[in-house]
Amino acid sequence: MSEATQKSTANAVPERADIAERHKWNLGDIYPNWEAWDEDITRCRALMDKFVAMKGTLGDGAERMLEAYQLNDQIGMMAYKIFRYPQLSYDTDQRNNELLARIQNVQNLFAEFGTKAAWFEPELVSLDEDTVRGWVDAEDALKDYRFPIGEVFRQREHVLDEEGERLLSYFSRFNGNPGETYRALSTADVKFNTVELSDGSEVEVSHAAYSRLLRTCRNQEDRKKAFEAMYGIYQDKANTYASLYNGICQRGAASARARNFDSAVHAALDGNNVPVSVLETLVETAAAGVAPLQRYHALRKKVLGLEKYDQYDGSIPLVDFDLEYEYDAVAETIIASVAPLGEDYQRQIREALEGGWIDVYETKGKRSGAYSAGVYGVHPYMLLNYNGTLSDVFTLAHELGHTMHTLLANQTQPFATSDYTIFVAEVASTLNEALLLEYMLGQTEDPVERAVLLQHAIDGIVGTFYMQALFADYELRAHQLAEEDQPITAEVLNEVYYSRLKHYLGDVAELDPLYAATWARIPHFFNSPFYVYQYATCYASSAKLVREVLDEGQGQAEAVERYLNLLRAGGSDHPMELLKAAGVDLSEPSTVEAVVTQLDTLVGMLEKELDALAQAE
């Protein structure tokens, strides 16, 4: 009996000691013990002091500039290990306050260094650009820094003088206050509502319970009760959430003005040199392509036999399916699914699965969710809470995509250009999912399983592409209010969001007015403004790439190599340029329109499988 089966049979979260070592990550690859960690902190402090002491010397020539960059790299590589060791340890048991204190000490160390090192970019951009580029051309070892040096000069009009940068650095911790307050209000201090379901049971509608109820409750009235219980929390405190969000928008507007940007969205996208027109194209094209989305919800309404349909009806499975996927078997399935990417890719996927890189199962105190975390010079680590569901299967494939992206980038790039941007981060993860879907559909003729797989794929497009484009649309409009000195109240934000949601879902959904408060429930709006659109652009990119990777024509080998080169490139160029080299141009509406077409095709396939099931009854 597998650990997952044992766990579900016992119906209790196991202790960490109950999990086999091969299903836990091995942090010994980072440090053998805490003494070694302490020693690296001491060494890192010394390197930080040495870097700070180099202030005023960058103009002395190529050798001094090289010394500064290499020293900064040493600090950066050490910082990965110093932070990840306690962070990964803490995430396996978040009841451990000693580990939390270690993390906070590391964060304070990095914040202090950030303030002391604020001289670096102002001093660099004060130098003659042609002179610096001449040093890069003449000194071979400086060539690793050609792109980051070029980036500093590209953004020089947005870099303040030393005093200005120092002053802004003082606000770095305060700037996070609205987000921290949001997290406290929505998580730490939240009081969840309890509802009585149709079977007489009472359920406290927490975030996890709400998601579960929408996926599992066949009774529509139960889903409605769960929705009202969850969204009522946000509506009851809508004015407080609006005040926090106004702070976010005002902060964005003020920061953009301080750094000479036209707007907050220009400032947010400039770091990756992404034209605002790319975001605008995404928003406009997605909004114009809502017909397949509405077709899908109309199909759901029909199959579920609902007289009235609302958004809380959008997660319940269209067919009953309770197959449990055993982890080790799934691992082999994923390895087989990525065969189009070559034997070496498969070999490294296997190493990730078997090499102590993954913490697989839920245990008491462990952080929820899933992620892949890189450690340059070691390897990535993956956290899962694997439960055997189909969703968990695709989560594993997704996180392995991130892991392979990090691994190939770190193997190929020097530290200075290894870190890829969020703009391309979800390409590898969603492409892995697409390969897995294609493989699993090819392995089954069961219309039930095929319908479940197709619904999973469609729901991925709805959540990753359409909803993120809708969120981006909302953010653009909300931040524009601040930049135009317009009032930002709960009523205003409710109207902005609700009007866009109505456009996307059309007449098929009789949207409850309470959905107007959805904006208050999206953490990214408060924690990472103008972040969510990148999920949608990444999905559009991977959708195009996977079609070429799976095309068995003469161009397949070249398409695979272009894709792998994208992963190997890390952060060595602007993400738009890296994607173009791989064959994706996000400035073209046709790239985004292809996702609309893909959804329409998948909905048609789902209709066919559901018809087959209906005829078999």
Q: Which long-range contacts (CB under 8 A, 24 or more apart) does 569-573 make?
A: 569/409, 569/412, 569/413, 569/420, 570/409, 570/410, 570/412, 570/413, 570/417, 570/418, 570/419, 570/420, 571/147, 571/409, 571/413, 571/417, 571/418, 571/419, 571/420, 571/421, 572/147, 572/413, 572/417, 573/147
Inter-axis angle of helices 467-483 and 238-258, to 10 degrees?
70
The partner residues of 371 in beta bridges, in order of sequence, read 383
DSSP string, 232-251: HHHHHTHHHHHHHHHHHHHH
Neighbour count for residue 38 (Cβ, 10 Å): 13
In angstroms, the Cα distances linking 68 to 10, 49, 123, 139 are 57, 12, 12, 14
Q: Please say whether the dihedral angle defined by the alpha carbons of residues 258, 252, 585 and 429, taken in this order, is positive or negative.
A: positive
The answer to whether 202 is a known catalytic residue is no
In angstroms, the Cα distances linking 407 to 234, 467, 572 are 40, 30, 15
In angstroms, the Cα distances linking 486 to 8, 246, 475, 476, 478 are 53, 11, 15, 14, 10
In angstroms, the Cα distances linking 499 to 115, 126, 148, 172, 515 are 43, 48, 42, 34, 10
Q: Which of 3, 121, 165, 399 is catalytic?
A: 399
Which residue numbers are catalytic? 399
